[in-house]
Chains A and B, each alone.
Chain A
């Protein structure tokens, strides 16, 4: 059974830092791209960052570039998100999500988030 379990959230002051973790089990972690998605209280889902299976390719949404760093340790089946210079608008539940990918039409690829963790809450407040 695929499981994704986030941890590391909490209450932090503006300008502070946190490191979120996502422990994966039930699948070959090193074969999948992984993502972080967040949801501010009462708001919609926002894609935050992705990392390829080997860690070679990394992408961020514009609002977190330079402040957030995604990483992974395939030996430990773990995904991380280092979040620095926290702002009130970063307050959200942070989900890790596995991304499944397949190719079609002679080389095009399609991907989607097939498994999600339960999330960890980050609250930024003084």
Chain B
């Protein structure tokens, strides 16, 4: 089982703000990265390091971190943001990688 914990499901009204969290001891030492996965598609990087977005990712996506918790915030959620979101970080050894269990985001 993953040592990064995410809420299994979160919902948000269209145009509202939603925060997806990821908790784990390794996050006290390492920044997380965040991936969006739409049904039937490969994951896509949306946030990395402190709060960096790859080109092409809308600025409504942002990241933050505090203590053992990393957060992905979507400000003004759109219908196309409905997807599964996964956090990822190094594990406590520093050599391996681990994913959170994923959060299914529903946009109402």
Contact of B99 (CB < 8 Å), options: A47, A50, A116, A118 = A47
* B54 part of interface (Cβ distance < 8 Å): yes
* A80 part of interface (Cβ distance < 8 Å): no
* A1 part of interface (Cβ distance < 8 Å): no
Q: Mark A89-126, 1 if CB is under 8 A from B, else 0.
A: 00000010100000010000011111011110000000
Closest-CB distance, B34 to chain A (whole angstroms): 9
Residues of chain A from 46 to 99 with CB closer than 8 A to chain B in the complex? 46-47, 50, 59, 61, 95, 97
The residues of A that contact B54 with a CB separation of less than 8 Å are 114
- CB pair B33 A44 closer than 8 Å: no
Count of A-B residue pairs with CB < 8 Å? 56
- CB pair A95 B43 closer than 8 Å: yes
- CB pair A116 B43 closer than 8 Å: yes
Count of chain B residues with Cβ under 8 Å from any Cβ of A?
A: 25
- CB pair A45 B42 closer than 8 Å: no
* A21 part of interface (Cβ distance < 8 Å): no
The residues of A that contact B88 with a CB separation of less than 8 Å are 45, 47, 112-113
Contact of A47 (CB < 8 Å), options: B31, B44, B97 = B97
* B24 part of interface (Cβ distance < 8 Å): no
- CB pair A118 B42 closer than 8 Å: yes
A119–B90 alpha-carbon span in the complex (Å): 22
Closest-CB distance, B101 to chain A (whole angstroms): 5
A43–B35 alpha-carbon span in the complex (Å): 15
Chain B interface residues toward A at CB < 8 A: 2, 30-31, 33, 35, 37, 42-45, 48-49, 54, 84, 86, 88, 90, 95-102
- A95-B42, A104-B49, A116-B43 are known contacts; what are 13 more A-B pairs with Cβ within 8 Å? A37-B99, A44-B99, A45-B35, A47-B88, A47-B97, A47-B98, A50-B97, A59-B96, A110-B49, A113-B35, A113-B45, A113-B88, A116-B44
